[in-house]
C-alpha cells in the first residue's frame, strides 16, 4: 500500500512540473535560440566585410569602408564629416544594393 501511494505522489509531482518545463522550452525556442542565430550571423558578417562596402555602425553612423586594419581589428569609415576609426565589432550591417532592394512579393 505504501508503494502505490509513493508512485502516485511521484506522478503528480511530475505533472506539476510540466508547465514550468514547457515555459523553459518556449523561452529557449522563441528568445534564446533566435538571439544566438542573430549573433552568429553578425559575427560572420563582421569577419567577411570588405573595403568599399557601405555600412551602418551600431551607433547609427552611415559610411563607406576605406581601410581595414587586421592588426588592431579596426576599420576606418568615410562619412560626410570625414574619416572615423571604429572597432570591427561596431559595424552593424551593410547597406548595399542587394540589401536595400525592395522585397519582391
- Tell me the mean pLDDT in the region 69-94: 90
Give pLDDT tens digits for 24-54: 999 999 999 999 998 898 888 888 888 998 9
CA dihedral 14, 18, 20, 26 (to 10 degrees): 150
Q: What is the mean pLDDT of the chain?
A: 83
Instruction: Tell me how crowded residue 49 is: count the other CB atoms within 10 A of its CB.
Output: 15
pLDDT at 102 over 70: no
Amino acid at each position: 500500500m505504501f508503494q502505490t501511494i509513493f508512485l502516485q505522489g511521484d506522478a503528480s509531482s511530475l505533472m506539476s512540473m510540466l508547465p514550468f518545463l514547457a515555459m523553459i522550452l518556449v523561452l529557449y525556442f522563441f528568445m534564446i535560440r533566435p538571439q544566438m542565430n542573430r549573433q552568429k550571423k553578425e559575427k560572420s558578417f563582421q569577419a567577411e566585410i570588405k573595403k568599399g562596402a557601405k555600412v551602418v555602425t551600431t551607433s547609427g553612423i552611415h559610411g563607406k569602408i576605406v581601410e581595414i586594419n587586421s592588426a588592431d581589428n579596426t576599420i576606418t569609415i568615410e562619412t560626410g564629416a570625414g574619416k572615423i576609426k571604429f572597432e570591427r565589432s561596431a559595424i552593424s550591417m551593410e547597406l548595399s544594393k542587394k540589401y536595400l532592394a525592395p522585397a519582391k512579393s
